[in-house]
């Protein structure tokens, strides 16, 4: 979806690239957390006492990312609609 927006709004390419560039790091953090939480499925206490805080940080990061992405898309699309008036 973001890539479609980039095609429609080439002048916003750097802002869109910045949003897209965050994806690999977020996915890597998610994979690490998934691996760390597998301990729970084995019925053992996790080795990482800060696991809950790490999950919260990732969720906060995802929330901010989605908010920024949505605001960017809405701003670009509303500018596009405004130009049609």
**Which pLDDT score is estimated for 80?**
62
Q: b or e along 44-82 (b: 16 or more beta carbons within 10 Å of the residue's beta carbon)? A: eeeeeeeeeeeeeeeeeeeeeeeeebeebbeebeeeeee
Please write the tens of the pLDDT for every residue from 20-41.
999 999 999 999 999 888 877 7
Indicate the pTM of the whole model.
Answer: 0.76
Please write the tens of the pLDDT for every residue from 64-74.
999 999 999 99
Mean pLDDT to the nearest integer, 46-62: 87
Query: pLDDT class for 82, splitting at 50, 70, 90?
Result: low
């Amino acid at each position: 979806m973001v890539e479609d927006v980039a095609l429609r709004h080439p002048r916003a390419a750097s802002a869109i690239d910045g949003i897209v560039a965050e994806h690999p790091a977020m996915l890597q953090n998610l994979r690490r957390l998934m691996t760390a939480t597998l301990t729970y499925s084995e019925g053992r206490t996790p080795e990482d006492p800060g696991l809950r805080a790490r999950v919260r940080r990732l969720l906060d990061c995802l929330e901010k990312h989605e908010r920024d992405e949505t605001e960017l898309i809405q701003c670009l699309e509303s500018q596009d609609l405004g130009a049609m008036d």
